Amino acid sequence: MSGENVLGILCSGRGTNLQSIMEAVKSGQIPARIAVVLTDKPDAKALERAAEANIPHACIDRKKYDDKEAFEKALISELRNHGVTLVILAGFMRILSPYFVHEYKGRIMNIHPSLLPSFGGAHAHRDVLAYGVKVSGCTIHFVDEGMDSGPIILQTAVPVMQDDDEDTLAARVLVEEHKLYPKAIELCCKGKLKVEGRHVRILE
Ligand code: GRF
């Protein structure tokens, strides 16, 4: 084993977090190589971003697989073929089964646009606004078998303004996402994260 950090990034849509991670790898902030970008949708803008950066990319179209297990097997096969050591979910809008999580146990990260454990799920900003909290933010966590429930690596708080709608809040949170995800991946790739049960200790 070479000890090289090999990233496989999974996206479903526009890929702005992918972009910030690609830039952080390019600048040397993250000591890793991005081996492959995979999407579950053929029209994901993330594919164009990967192509522009000359990074191998492919769509594993969920619609072409009979069931979740077949789809996840195809994903795992691509990740293995590329020698991926760390799976990064960057706006990947599917819940991975325990089968997938087991394959990459402790080596899958996700970003969620709220301060977990509050407002997990697919409509974080809508739920934040409906509830009336004054602070939201973003969370980077390791993925376990539950939804948005794995050990938390880093969080940034973002104020909720009185006149916010989903778009304005999402935009303010996204600015922080683009800083936080590269930072968490950097720490992981530098061996500075130690997971102890639910707690992720950051080693200095
Ligand atoms: C981000 O807000 C991320 O937190 C959430 O989905 C969005 C993806 O945006 N999981 P992008 O595709 O990275 O632009």
**What is the domain partition of the chain in residue ranges?**
6-196
Q: How far is ligand 1, taken at its centre, from the CA of residue 72, in Å?
A: 21
Helix (H, G, I), strand (E, B) or coil at 108: strand
**Could you identify the atom of ligand 1 that is nearest to the CA of residue 15?**
12
Which of 16, 127, 153 to probe ligand 1 with, by most ligand atoms within 8 A of CB? 16
* 102 catalytically annotated: no
Residue 168 near residue 158, CB atoms below 8 Å? no
Question: Alpha-carbon distance 127 to 1, whole Å?
Answer: 44
Q: What is the pTM of this model?
A: 0.97
- For the stretch 146-178, pLDDT in tens is 989 999 999 999 999 999 999 999 999 999 999
- What's the CA-to-centroid distance between 13 and ligand 1, angstroms? 8
Check pLDDT > 50 for residue 137: yes
pLDDT for the residue numbered 2: 59
Residue whose CB lies within 8 A of the most ligand 1 atoms, among 111, 138, 176, for a mutation test: 111
pLDDT at site 34: 98
Distance 12 CA to ligand 1 centre (A): 9
What band does 1 get if pLDDT is binned at 50, 70 and 90? very low
What local confidence, expressed as pLDDT, does residue 3 receive? Answer: 86
Kindly report, residue by residue over 84-131, the tens digit of the pLDDT. Answer: 999 999 999 999 999 999 999 999 999 999 999 999 999 999 999 999
Q: Whose CA is nearest to atom 9 of ligand 1?
A: 91
Q: Facing residues of 158 across strands?
A: 136
Q: Cα dist. 139→26, 42, 76, 84, 201 in Å?
A: 23, 27, 25, 23, 15
Catalytic residue among 82, 112, 125, 178: 112
In whole angstroms, how far apart are CA 197 and each of 121, 144, 201, 202?
23, 11, 10, 14
Which residue is associated with the tokens 């409509």? Answer: 123
**Does residue 110 have its Cβ closer than 6 Å to ligand 1?**
no
CA 20, chain centre distance (Å): 12
Q: Is residue 68 scored above 50 in pLDDT?
A: yes
Q: In angstroms, rounded to a whole number, what is the distance separating the alpha carbons of residues 89 and 12?
A: 9
Summarize the confidence of residues 8-15 as an average pLDDT.
Answer: 98
pLDDT in tens, 191-204: 999 999 999 999 98
CATH superfamily of 6-196: Formyl transferase, N-terminal domain (3.40.50.170)
Straight-line distance from the first to the last Cα atom of the chain, in angstroms, rounded to the nearest whole number: 25
